[in-house]
Amino acid sequence: MGKVYIKTFGCQMNEYDSQRILSVFNNYGFSKSETPQNADFAILNTCSVREKPHHKVVSEIGRLKKIKNRNPSFKIGICGCVAQQEGEKFLKHYPYVDFVIGTEAVSRLENILDLVLSGEKVSDIEIKDENLSIDTFTRHAGTSAFLTIMKGCNNYCSYCIVPYVRGREISRKSNEIINEAKYLVHSGVKEITLLGQNVNSYGKNLDENINFPKLLYMINKIEGLQRLRFVTSHPKDFSDDLLSAMKDIDSICEYLHLPLQSGADNILKKMNRKYTYESYKEKILKTKEQIPGIAVSSDFIVGFPGETEADFEKSLSALREIEYESVFAFKYSPRPGTTAAEFEDSIPEEEKNRRLNKLLNVQSEITSKLLEQYIGKVCEVLVEGKSKMDVDIYSGRNRQNRIINFNSNVSLNPGDIVNVKVTEAKKNSLFGTNINEFTLITNNRRQ
Ligand code: SF4
């Protein structure tokens, strides 16, 4: 039996695709290897959304080349967004790479493997943009799992490469999604995170009478599903119907990731985000009012072309005003082929670093303040297992997606749901005590 090593860069969509890739290899009799040295195949599932992960892929390929020099039968495959962009050029630049497949070609991997195993080099980056059909695939699902409901994006934010490497926005039929969700729940999954670049526009290309809120109601009916999450929502498409569904559906967790990117309207306009800070703020405040205790997170880009100090200050004000529980912030880096790559990248690297550090420091104070507020409260925790730092301590996440490590007098298993009283707030996590004498399979909002 052969072995395959898969390294995943970037977003949850890539993680999901890596599980699909592993499943195809499993069907061929390959098992998973934790290191490339012991493997017969190495797959890099790549990300090109920023410059840094792109560079990491290139250096990783260099490491794999050394293994191939020692073992010429070792095969190297490049998948994902960098593969989509580079295609056949990759095979020319790196002749020791055996195949390059784009984001949509994962569904054709079986045929590609046949060719690669017979010694051919393959490049397949075709995007058909017709429909999105993914057969439910076997996987070792733990307590939580990702489920792709759509792919691609039609928004063309000026800095973003996704519409070029993932294609147009296409939704999966609801019956396929429900079947996969049922499979996951029957395999023991308690929490499902629905994935799409812009889940709010789910269903637009389908013949069915469906939209994202309707899909959420359908998935919620699956018996045994305890928690439902979704990423990512675009602020311009975040609707009242979706907010009502979030309020009504018990399994939907009190967590919303709604990327703002900048607090300055002129920068939002240059980013082609199609909303203003005020309209964004209104939606968030309404959400916080209607779903008490919800944790909100966001993405920010600092140093976008033309961002002045005053524009940057508006992003800091937005952090303070919205009070996000967590934020993912990045320095702007031009992505070749996007509209913003034509703008003058006017902010020096040093200044981008200063702004990033400043923003992260401001956010760190806000996160500390919000985490302190959990002390004394009881959180519903989905147990993931033992803490990595201490085997006597359990670890899991609350409904707000925050890690909670805790003591327990009773023995617990991954997938158990317990009530934990928070006693301490750490920098990015919470600590507490299991207050149930026995394992609880319940849901705080249903109590
Ligand atoms: S909404 Fe904008 S940032 Fe998000 S994937 Fe689409 S183009 Fe990229």
Backbone angles phi, psi at 46, to 5 degrees: -100, 165
382, β-bridge pairs: 397, 417
Does the CB atom of residue 258 touch ligand 1 within 6 A? no
365 and 263 in a single domain? The answer is yes
Q: For residue 262, give the nearest of 189, 167, 384, 359 by alpha carbon.
A: 359
Does the CB atom of residue 198 touch ligand 1 within 6 A? yes
Which residue matches tokens 């010694």?
119
365 and 389 in a single domain? The answer is no
Contact 219, 178 (CB under 8 A): yes
Locate 308 and state its tokens: 């002045």
Q: Is residue 256 part of a domain?
A: yes
- The pTM score is 0.92
36 and 59 in a single domain? The answer is yes
> What's the helix, strand, coil split of the chain in %, to 5?
40, 20, 40
Contact 231, 271 (CB under 8 A): no
Does the CB atom of residue 156 touch ligand 1 within 6 A? yes
Does the CB atom of residue 328 touch ligand 1 within 6 A? no
Q: Tens digit of pLDDT per residue, the chain (447 long)? A: 799 999 999 889 999 999 999 999 999 999 999 999 999 999 999 988 887 777 888 889 999 999 999 999 999 999 999 888 888 888 999 999 999 999 888 889 999 999 999 999 999 998 876 778 888 888 887 899 999 999 999 999 999 999 998 889 999 999 999 999 999 999 999 999 999 999 999 999 899 999 999 999 999 999 999 999 999 999 999 999 999 999 999 999 999 999 999 999 999 999 999 999 999 999 999 999 999 999 999 999 999 999 999 999 999 999 999 999 999 999 999 999 999 999 998 899 999 999 999 999 999 999 999 999 999 999 999 999 998 888 889 999 999 999 999 999 999 999 999 999 999 999 999 999 999 755 554 444 433
164 and 252 in a single domain? The answer is yes
Q: Which of 48, 50, 155 to mutate to test the pocket of ligand 1 (most atoms within 8 A of CB)?
A: 155
> Residue 396 CB: number of other CB atoms within 10 A?
26
Cα torsion 237, 239, 243, 246: sign? negative
Q: What is the CATH number of the domain that holds 21?
A: 3.40.50.12160
385 and 368 in a single domain? The answer is no
Contact 430, 374 (CB under 8 A): yes
290 and 173 in a single domain? The answer is yes
Residues 6 or more apart whose CB falls under 8 angstroms from that of 183 comprise 136
Does the CB atom of residue 197 touch ligand 1 within 6 A? yes
Q: For residue 101, give the nearest of 117, 121, 119 by alpha carbon.
A: 121
Q: Report how far ligand 1's centroid is from the alpha carbon of 152 (Å).
A: 9
Backbone angles phi, psi at 261, to 5 degrees: 80, -45
Say how many domains are in the chain: 3
Q: Is residue 138 part of a domain?
A: no
Q: Is residue 132 part of a domain?
A: no
Does the CB atom of residue 270 touch ligand 1 within 6 A? no
Does the CB atom of residue 157 touch ligand 1 within 6 A? yes
295 and 442 in a single domain? The answer is no
- Domain limits for position 31: 3-124
Residues 6 or more apart whose CB falls under 8 angstroms from that of 397 comprise 381, 382, 384, 403, 404
304 and 208 in a single domain? The answer is yes
Distance from C-alpha of 378 to C-alpha of 197, rounded to nearest angstrom: 33
DSSP states of 1-39 as a string? --EEEEEE-SSHHHHHHHHHHHHHHHHTT-EE-SSSTT-
366 and 382 in a single domain? The answer is no
Helices (H) and strands (E) in the chain, counts: 13, 19
Q: Is residue 281 part of a domain?
A: yes
154 and 303 in a single domain? The answer is yes
